[in-house]
Amino acid sequence: MDKAETTASGHETRKRSNPAIGRSRFFVLLVIALGLVLAACADDTTGTTATSGDGEVTTTAADGEVTTTAADGEVTTTTSSDAEGTTVRVALPTPAVGIEPVLINDEGGLAAFGQAAEYLIFSDDELNPIPVLAESWESNDAGDVWTFHLNPGATFQDGSPVTADDVVATVQGIAGGNAGPAFQTFGVDPAQVVAIDEQTVEFTLTQSSGAFPFFMSSDNYNAAILPASFWEEYEEGSYEQSFVGSGPWVLESYDPGVSAVYVKNENYWGDNSGQPDRMEVTFFADEAAAVTGFLEGRFDVIPHISFSGATPLLDSPDAEVSSISTAQHRQVYFDTTKPPFDDKRVRQAIALALDRDLLVDGLLGGFGLVGNDHPIWENYPMYNSDAVEQRTQDLEQAQQLLADAGYPDGFEAPLDTLVFFEVEDLAQLIASSLAPIGIDLTVGVYDSGTYYGDYWLAADGSMGIVNYGHRGVPNVYLGAPLLSPERTGEDSWNASHWSNEEYDALFDQFTSAPDLETQTEIAGEIQALLNDEVPFIVPYYVDHISVTRPGFSGLEVTGMGHYTVVDGSFDG
Partner 1 sequence: MSRFVLRRIGLALITLFLLSVLVFVGTQLLPGDVGRRILGPFANQEAVDALNQRLGTDRPVLVQYWDWISSAVTGDLGFSISFSRPVNELLGRALGNSVKLAALAFVIVVPLSLAGGVFAALRRGTFVDRLITVGGLSATVIPEFVSGVVLIVVFGVFLGWLPGIATAPAGSGFLTQMRYLILPAIPLVLVLFGYIARITRAGVIEALEADYTRTAILKGLPRSTVIRRDVLRNALLPTIAVIASQVGYLIGGLVIVEVLFTYQGVGKLLFDAARNADFPLLAGGVLVVGAAFQVSMLLADLAYSWLNPRIRLS
For the segment 229-248, give every residue that binds partner 1 (CB under 8 A): 236-237, 240
DSSP one-letter string for 502-527 = HHHHHHHHHHT-SSHHHHHHHHHHHH
Apex 487 CA angle, 534 and 331, nearest 5: 30
Buried b (16+ CB within 10 A) or exposed e, 237-276: eebeebbbbbbbbbbeebeeeeebbbbbbeebbbebeebb
Give whichever of 280 and 525 is closer to partner 1, judged by the CB atom: 280
Which residues, numbered 253-292, are part of the site for partner 1 (CB under 8 A)?
Answer: 253, 255-259, 261, 280, 282, 284-286, 289, 292
Q: What is the SS3 assignment for 43? A: coil
DSSP one-letter string for 226-273 = --HHHHHT--TT-GGGT--SSSSEEEEEEETTTEEEEEE-TT-SS--T
Q: CB under 8 A: which stretch of 16-24, 153-161, 392-400, 556-564 binds partner 1? A: 16-24
- The verdict on 83 binding partner 1 (CB under 8 A) reads no
State how far the Cα of 221 lies from the Cα of 224, in Å rounded to an integer: 7
Which residues, numbered 431-490, are part of the site for partner 1 (CB under 8 A)?
Answer: 448-450, 452-454, 456, 480, 490
State how far the Cα of 550 lies from the Cα of 313, in Å rounded to an integer: 12
CB of 392: closest distance to partner 1 in angstroms? 31
Which residues, numbered 96-135, are part of the site for partner 1 (CB under 8 A)?
Answer: 96-100, 103, 105-106
424 and 430 in contact (C-beta within 8 Å)?
Answer: no
- The verdict on 71 binding partner 1 (CB under 8 A) reads no
- The verdict on 74 binding partner 1 (CB under 8 A) reads yes
Sign for the pseudo-dihedral over CA of 119, 123, 124, 129: positive
CB of 379: closest distance to partner 1 in angstroms? 22
Give the pairing of strands 544-548 and 439-446.
unpaired
- The verdict on 317 binding partner 1 (CB under 8 A) reads no
DSSP one-letter string for 365-377 = TT-EEE--SSS--
Q: Is the peptide bond before 340 cis (omega within 30 degrees of 0)?
A: yes
Kind plus residue range of the DSSP H or E element containing 403: helix 395-404
Which residues, numbered 337-366, are part of the site for partner 1 (CB under 8 A)?
Answer: none
CB of 249: closest distance to partner 1 in angstroms? 15
State how far the Cα of 73 lies from the Cα of 58, in Å rounded to an integer: 12
Give whichever of 73 and 159 is closer to partner 1, judged by the CB atom: 73
Q: CB under 8 A: which stretch of 28-36, 201-209, 502-510, 550-558 binds partner 1? A: 28-36
- The verdict on 190 binding partner 1 (CB under 8 A) reads no
Which residues, numbered 50-69, are part of the site for partner 1 (CB under 8 A)?
Answer: 61-63, 65
Give whichever of 491 and 556 is closer to partner 1, judged by the CB atom: 491
Give whichever of 282 and 399 is closer to partner 1, judged by the CB atom: 282
CB of 220: closest distance to partner 1 in angstroms? 13
Q: CB under 8 A: which stretch of 13-21, 191-199, 535-543, 544-552 binds partner 1? A: 13-21
Among 180, 187, 375, 479, binds partner 1 (CB under 8 A): 180
- The verdict on 184 binding partner 1 (CB under 8 A) reads yes
- The verdict on 565 binding partner 1 (CB under 8 A) reads no
Among 66, 295, 431, 528, binds partner 1 (CB under 8 A): 295
Give whichever of 51 and 136 is closer to partner 1, judged by the CB atom: 51
- The verdict on 219 binding partner 1 (CB under 8 A) reads no
CB of 501: closest distance to partner 1 in angstroms? 23
Name the E strands within 400-462.
411-418, 439-446
Give the pairing of strands 278-284 and 87-93.
parallel
